[in-house]
Each structure stands twice: as structure tokens, then as C-alpha cells.
Amino acid sequence: MKGAILTTLTLILILTTPCFANEPIKVGVSEFAPFVMKTEDGTSQGYSIDIWKALGKVDPHLTSFEFKYFEPIGEISGFKRKLAAVKAQEINVGIGGITVNAKREEVLNFGNPTYNSRIAIAVNAEVKTEALIALIAKRLFSKDIGAIFAGIGSLVMGLAFLLWLFDRKDPHNKIPRKPFDKDLHKSGIEIAIIVTWEWMTTIGSGVYAPGTRKGYAVVNASYLIWVFVFSIFVATVTSAFDTKDNQILQSTISSPQDLLGKVIATKNGTDSVNVAKNLGVSKVLTYPTIKEAYAAQENGKATAVIYDLPGLKHYEQNEGKGKILILPQILKPHHYAYAYHENNNKLKEQINCALEKVRGSGELQRIHEKWFGENN
């Protein structure tokens, strides 16, 4: 009986002992704003950093740690160096915007999701005349605008018919009595259409003066009605262009299909590289840092940057403000998780447990709102 109790206590002690009781957990990070950002004093801040610190508040075994920051070396990004360090067991866990995909799962062990992300497209925020013409044409030929054009046409025809009906009895006979004729000058309704349109668009100062009071009433009413109808037309045209359309006017690229045969820039070692290659682009330029990819786009070496949406948004709202436009189409949804060595299940489960406590308490949502806002 005593032996069974001793064995049980020993097992409990083993299970509750921290994975790294004698040394701090080595946590690998690399630059990926706003998940991990290096400050001027050499420390790190960001969404992933805040989550990691929150884990220690629910599990004291996770309070002993040290961040190892991986910088790019030559053409090798800090991100690739971080994953290689996890695989080589030089660090215990890699955090900070690591996308889970099938290829990585073959050599690494991933924990529970920490963020649901998407890959998107960023183009230059520069006014392009051809994009303006294309989008205006697209909107002007919409069903709503077409209905207004049809309404204006019907209005002109109706008023012209009334004008002809009344003024054909004019003793001076300025509008022919005959409704239609091969000779335009003898076609009463066609002349009435021209006169009505003239009075409508010149605000009542047409050359032709009706010969009857009823005719005057028609042309005077025509320009008053025209003012009302034209205001509806302008409002409809304006509303046809939503905020994103107005932004898309700034680029010749408005959809992923427009990238066919173009040059794309992104950060090497990321999931964005494969996504870009699958779009039929002519070339994918990869760089150790995403800042170099943005520079390539700005300098005209690349047409667009394909990258994770949170990273693009952070750049768009900060140092890239006014320089890029993020298109609304999502290329690929995915999620981020912590990466471990394939045999390191114990630490993974320990951190997973702490992460779910942080999620359940609402702290994860508060951290999310701090870095991305309530609606992102």
C-alpha cells in the first residue's frame, strides 16, 4: 500500500514539475510587426510578446524564459533562422507569426492557434488614369445607372410628345404637325425632342420659344424636373463608388487576376512565396526583410507585395501610410501557432494549457484589441 502511494506521489511530482526547472525556456523571436518588434533599448514588444508574458501569469513555470532574437544574415531571413533553430533544438519554442502548413508540420511540432491570419496583396497608392477610366466605365454601366439613363430618356420623350401635341396647333407652326418624317425639319416629334432637351439642359433658355401656353408650361416644367432628376443621377453615381473603389482608382491592379505576368515582392521563407508563385506571376522577388520588399515595390522593381494581412496593415498605417493600398481580396486564410521540436510534446502541452486559460479569461482578446483594434 505504501509503495503504491509513493509511486503515485512520484508521478504527480514528475507531471507538475516544470519542463525546464533548472534553466530558462529559450524563446525564439524574429521581426514581424506588429507581432514582434525590436525596441531601441534592444527588448522586444508586440502581440506575440504580450501573449507570452500573459502565459506566465497563469502558469508560474513559464515565468523563467529568455528571448533569443534572430536577425537576418545575408539572404537568410531571421524567420528562417528561427525555424532552423527550433528544428536543431537550439531554442525550445519559436513564436511570432509562424504559419502552420503541411510542409512545416513534417519537421516541426505546432501548438494551438494564436492568431487567424490571411495573405493579401498591397499595391502602390498612386493615381493611375487607366484605372480611373476602367472603374468609371464599370460603374456607369451598372444596372442602377442604366435605370436612371432609361428614366431620363423616357422623361424627355414624354415631355417632347406633350410639347408636340400642344404646339402643333400653333398658328406660326414652328413645330411641324406631322409627327415623323424622313426630313428632320418636317418631323414634329423629333424637333420637339431636340427642343425639350435644349430647354432642360440650358435651364430654360432654349432658342425655340413655344407658341402656346401649354407648350410653355411643358418646357418650363422640363428644366425644373431636370434639376431634380440630375441631382438623383449625381447622388446615384457618387454612391456607386464605395470607399474601396475610390482607393482602387489609385492602382492599375484591382484583383489577383491583374497580377498575371507581373513581378511580385515578398519576404523569403514565408508562405507568401508559394501563394505568389501560384498566381501566374512572371517572377517572385524574395528578400530577407519585408521592408526590402516594400522598397522594391516603391522603386518600381515589383508591381505588388504579397504578404500576411496584419503585417501589411501595420505598414499601411505607419511608415507606409499613403504609399500602399491593400486590396480587399484574400488569397489564403491560415493561422499562426508556436513551433516546437517534433519530439517536444511536453512543453507544447504545458503552453497549450496556459494559452487556453489566457484565451478563456478574455486576456487574449484584450491583447488582440490592443494591437489590432476591435474590428480586426
* Residue range 301-325, pLDDT digits in tens: 999 999 999 999 999 999 999 889 9
Q: Which of 21-30, 246-255, 321-330, 342-351 has the lowest mean pLDDT?
A: 246-255
Between 328 and 209, residue with greater pLDDT: 328
| Residues ≥6 apart with Cβ < 8 Å to 222 | 159, 196, 199, 200
Contacts of 68 (CB under 8 A, 6+ apart): 26, 27, 28, 29, 85, 91
Phi-psi region of 110 (alpha: psi -120 to 50; beta: other; left: phi over 0): beta
CA distances to 49, 115, 198 from 365, in Å: 14, 10, 63
**Host domain of residue 220:** 133-243
pTM: 0.62
Residue that wins the pLDDT comparison between 165 and 265: 265
The answer on 109 and 37 residing in a single domain is yes
- In this structure, the answer to whether residues 277 and 215 fall within a common structural domain is no
Instruction: For residue 180, tell me if it sits in a domain.
Output: yes
For the stretch 185-244, pLDDT in tens is 677 778 778 777 777 777 555 556 677 777 778 777 777 777 777 787 777 666 655 544
Boundary (domain end) residue, out of 225, 243, 261: 243
Closest CA to 230 of 285, 152, 169, 336: 152
Q: How big is the chain, counted in residues?
A: 376
- Kindly report the number of other CB atoms within 10 A of residue 318's CB atom: 10
**Do both 275 and 256 map to the same domain?**
yes
pLDDT at res. 7: 45
Give the distance from CA 309 to its chain's centroid. Answer: 7
- What is the domain count for the chain? 3
- Do 343 and 317 fall into the same domain? no
User: 133: burial class by Cβ within 10 Å (0-12, 13-18, 19+)?
Assistant: exposed
- Give the whole-angstrom CA distance, residue 217 versus residue 163: 9
51 located within any domain: yes
Q: What is the pLDDT of residues 107-156, one digit of tens each?
A: 999 999 999 999 999 998 865 555 556 666 666 667 777 777 787 788 78
Query: Residue 1: inside a domain, yes or no?
Result: no
C-alpha distances in Å from residue 170, one per residue of 166, 173, 193, 215: 8, 5, 17, 9
Question: Is 30 part of a structural domain of the chain?
Answer: yes
Give the pLDDT score at 242. Answer: 53
pLDDT of residue 28: 96
